[in-house]
Structure 1
């Protein structure tokens, strides 16, 4: 393999990382992981020999290629790359990095642009799910500049509409992998749900938290973080995911009543640090739980699950989502949609030696 690789660095939603062509990487996952570790500079807290940013939100990689699915236009493989630890997790999807997939596909000629708006059907290889991304393409060019600001970023952009199709059972094949809407782990009621990504939902007050603490307050509470990780590990086994000590899923999420006019408030963990905002896939899981009577989330919103629009509060602001329900059964969600933005930062060559 060549000692160089082409990349485009983009901000996708509230994340940032390199976008690469799948064809430029080894097909075998372990060999691919080795290349990604070199690219990001893992093994050093600053990722000093690579392009990682020393934070879980900036140590992500999106790999894109021609679709292998009949109902999609491109394939998208996501990797969460360790910072100090030299490990790569291909298990989860990242909905924020996904925001840059359609622009990248158009920019690199993987998919042709239309003259106004272009919808790219994306096949996520991590979960097998399909996502439709609609981007503005006036005169056949991706438009990045706009007036939309999403919480967790500081620059406006053109809205990118993401619609996640059939979100249930992304990794386990079941919306409720344990078969229960409520399980009890270490005397704490939890909801284990798999929608876009597997998560374990916990009422903040059940862990003696308000749920409105800052990310740094959670991160610095060693006893709390240890207890949360213990619950996560047990939830992983209950969900059929096995030993998840080396995996970032399931993600633990603390929930509490909304205080700023939204639907519900959340603190999302990635999994050993509190996210400064809220992941797209995590927000879809929360929204789906809000729509599912008897879950921790639906109880916190008083089982008012018939809404089609949801506003989730998080440390950086809010994220808005809308759901489309099955016509003959409103309890079944056909898709979940939201808006992200993306920013093209750099086009270049990475040296691997």
Structure 2
């Protein structure tokens, strides 16, 4: 039996899986020990579990949208500076792709509670648990703090986040200043594909573009932006030119960098955003995308700096199609002239089901 046949016939008994909402995303969570270590076999399995490629993902767990076609693989970390390792996988919906170049700050909110559920992490003795999480996609380390009364993950609470109905328990996410600069090219602004842009990375590689420079106002419905073939072609041209400048190489089959269209705030926030992720427009905005936007617009000369209503303090209300995401971002310039930043955001998460999932036998 060949390697492909072996991969396709494996797991007839199913695989242990927990489906969780993290922030404004939803994903399938797995223990690293329950999925293949080989990336090619692992990616093939994820496609068959989520039902890709198919616009409806009717034969799998996926929900027919990039925000619900995600997977997280979690394990105890061997890094002494972290408790957990978290590998994020962005599974294509109508394309047979599995991206591991980016992380996901929304699903990050659910990593700690999942780890407590699976016994990877002991609950804190005071009803609160703090988890240091190594982001295997990017190498960064985030800290999550969440409630664990009676030693179990508690998803109940009164915190509401725009883009999610109802309320849930608070989960604080902190990401310290990385080793790399916020501006990967060292430039506050530059020209790509004939447009003035800013390349920024405060946890997520993002290209900031003034929406008006692309002929849109920035307050359109996401579906209308996706249907604008001229706009999508221009956004993708910018994204592909930006990829090598982030050190990502050819990004045609990758989900990073993201391109974020900026416009003046309309609802009392700091800035208004429309985020291409990359072939669909985000229904809200990712946590780390928001942190990158907030860091970028604080830098004089960057795209969005003059559009924003910048606060005196570090709290930024990033407007998006579903409302507002508040993120605390501290930005400073070092003696070497490089800008660096750290961020803190409040998210929620919820366990949806825990059980056994069965992969499609072949694709």
Instruction: Using structure 1 for the length normalisation, give the TM-score.
Output: 0.94
Aligned Cα root-mean-square deviation (Å): 1.9
Q: 1:152 aligns with which of 163, 175, 182?
A: 163
Residue 351 of structure 1 aligns with which residue?
358
1:209-248 to 2 correspondences below 5 Å: 209-248=216-255
Match of residue 259 from structure 1: 266
In 1, distance between residues paired with 2:339 and 2:82?
23
CA deviation string 1:296-330 (max 9, x = no partner): 1323237x576311110010000001134669889
Q: What SS does the aligned partner of 1:71 have?
A: coil
Matched residue of 1:100: which SS? helix
Residues 182, 340 of structure 2: 8 Å contact kept: no
| Alignment: residue pair count | 348
1:277 aligns with 2:258: no
Among residues 15, 21, 26, which one is paired with 2:31 in the alignment? 21
| 1:314-353 map, 5 Å | 314-324=320-330, 333=340, 335-352=342-359, 353=361
SS of the residue 1:99 aligns to: helix
Task: Say if 1:291 and 1:306, in contact at 8 Å, map to a contact too.
Answer: no
Shift of 1:193: 1.2
Kept in 2: contact 1:260–1:313 (CA 8 A): yes
CA deviation profile, 1:121-147 (whole Å, cap 9, x unmatched): 100100000110000111212111111
Q: CA deviation at 1:230?
A: 1.0
1:56 aligns with 2:35: no
Q: CA 1:286–1:334 in 2, change beyond 3 Å: closer, same or farther?
A: closer
Tell me the secondary structure at the aligned position of residue 296 of structure 1: coil
Instruction: String of CA shifts for 1:36-67, please: whole Å, max 9, x gaps.
Output: 11110102211122111111000000110011
Q: Which aligned pairs between 1:84-123 and structure 2 lie closer than 5 A? A: 84-114=94-124, 115-123=126-134
TM-score normalised by L of structure 2: 0.91
Aligned counterpart, 2:46: 36
Give CA deviations for 1:167-221 in whole Å, capped at 9, x if unaligned: 464xxxx422223111112321000112201111001111111111110110111
Q: 1:305 to 1:316 in 2, by over 3 A?
A: closer
Contact persistence 2:65–2:93 (CA under 8 A): yes
Q: 1:295 to 1:67 in 2, by over 3 A?
A: same
Residue 89 of structure 1 deviates from its aligned partner by 0.2
Q: 1:276 to 1:327 in 2, by over 3 A?
A: closer
Q: Deviations over 1:78-105 (max 9, x none)?
A: 0000111111001100000111100000
Report the Cα distance in structure 2 between the residues aligned to 1:314 and 1:168, rounded to whole angstroms: 29
Structure 1 counterpart SS, 2:113: helix
Instruction: Judge conservation of contact 1:292–1:305 (CA < 8 Å) in 2.
Output: no
Return 5+ residue gaps in structure 1 as ranges: none
Cα 1:325–1:84 change in 2 (3 A) is closer
